[in-house]
Chain A
Amino acid sequence: NAGVTQTPKFRVLKTGQSMTLLCAQDMNHEYMYWYRQDPGMGLRLIHYSVGEGTTAKGEVPDGYNVSRLKKQNFLLGLESAAPSQTSVYFCASSQRTGGLHFGNGTRLTVT
Chain B
Amino acid sequence: AQSVTQLDSQVPVFEEAPVELRCNYSSSVSVYLFWYVQYPNQGLQLLLKYLSGSTLVKGINGFEAEFNKSQTSFHLRKPSVHISDTAEYFCAVSGVITNAGKSTFGDGTTLTVKP
**Chain A interface residues toward B at CB < 8 A:** 4, 31, 33, 35, 40-45, 48, 50, 58, 90, 92, 94, 96-105
Contact = CB atoms under 8 A, between A and B. Distances in A.
B102 interface: yes
B43 A104 contact: yes
| Interface size range of chain B in the complex | 20 to 34
Given A100-B44, A102-B45, A43 B105 contact: yes
A90 B43 contact: yes
Contact of B107 (A35, A42, A90): A42
6 contacts: A31-B101, A58-B102, A92-B44, A100-B44, A100-B103, A105-B42
Nearest to A29: B101
Interface string B24-59: 000000001010100001111110010100000000
Interface of B: 9, 32, 34, 36, 41-46, 49, 51, 90, 92, 96, 100-108
B43 A42 contact: no
Given A41-B107, A100-B46, A104-B42, A48 B102 contact: yes
B43 A105 contact: yes
B101 A94 contact: yes
Contacts of A43: 44, 90, 105
Contacts of B106: 42
A19 B19 CA distance: 43
A99 B46 contact: yes
Nearest to B48: A99
A104 B41 CA distance: 7
Contacts of A92: 43-44
